[in-house]
Structure 1
Amino acid sequence: MTRTRASVRPRDTLAPPSEAELVADARAGHEPAVRELIRRLNPRLFRVARGILASDSEAEDVVQETYVTAFTRLGDFKGRARFSTWITRIAMNCARVRLRKARPQEEYDTVQDRDAADVLAFPGQHQELPEAALGRAQLRGLLEAAIAELPSDLRLPFLLHEVDGLKIREIARDVGLKPITVRTRLFRARRRLRDRLNSRLEDGFTSAFPFDGARCARLADRVSARIRYAADGGWIDTSG
């Protein structure tokens, strides 16, 4: 995208443009409108793609393809639904197509790697992705904090049972309680943890699979590098 056109209509500079106004500007070849639509839609489209695909990198690739498809086919958007709804459907279709293409290869790999469990894994051979390690650490921290808030009479049997793997009768013997008392305390501990975790997770759902900041800007740059506005034909994909 090498050329920037002026917005098709003057606006109150204090009011952010609506989605419809941005789409109208994008139809006219206004690059900042394209970038603003990408910025606004990135979180939704990434979560949609990530909900279908197994990795962040696959989802990010699908989001990029979604934008290229949508902007090069803006003529197909008739405005009967919101642009965000229309492009979300494109993202879902792109993700499902990618998933279908990946499945035959996955089945082939499963056959080829049937004896993979017998192969000695050397240290560092299967490194955990940084984002996966971070997510696991955050989840562990959330669990540990919730367990720490349990009263000691519930926390001790819970840790002995869930972490150390002791049976109820073993816990009863070691701490001097009746098995029915241990069972009751485990039930109460699990219920409290469930309620505590549900409360904290509900607060965090809105930030699940974030896609913003520098990551968002890089994707906008990649999309911009792939599409170019032609006055007689709208946005075209220059990669093919």
Structure 2
Amino acid sequence: MATGSGDDGVQALAPDEIDDLARRAQGGDRGALEDLLAAVRPRTLNVCRGVLPHPADAEDACQEALLNVAGKIGSWGGRGRFTTWLHVVAVNSARSTYRRMKNQAVPSDVLPAERPDPRTTSVIAGTRLDLLEAMETLEREHPQMVEPLLLRDVYGLPYDEIAALLGAPTGTVKAQIHHGRKLVRPLLRGDA
């Protein structure tokens, strides 16, 4: 049963309908995959806008996320909602787009000491560079903490949903988030 109309005129679907489309798409139903991508595009774009507020950057990340969904739909395990899995794909695509743009923005011939401080110099207008840089640092040193921390503190998903998505006990997820917060806090602007 449809729940309303989306931003681009696409009929918004109920979570069960989205899950059903995803299962059919996993089974090779090309029409279901097309319908699924159209149904989740507005949600995917909103997630990407949360990381990359510049509209063109968010659109690029959204496109990348939808391509990843189409190519990797078989990796959705079906344990949780498809939209929860989609959040992870969209966040990772937005972060990948940010990394690519950051690498293009700083010429490779600039010595590291001459590079601008990312906490005070905007590479992409309007982006929380301190948060993105903190996540990059955390990913290098403690990669298992990045996804739970982003899903909880940026996207507000409940602990039990994160645990189901990651296939980990809720207590482990809570511990990863708590420890991740401790490590990230000093990296954020104003705390450094």
TM-score, normalising length from structure 1? Answer: 0.36
Structure ranking higher on relative contact order (CA contacts 8 Å, 6+ apart): 1
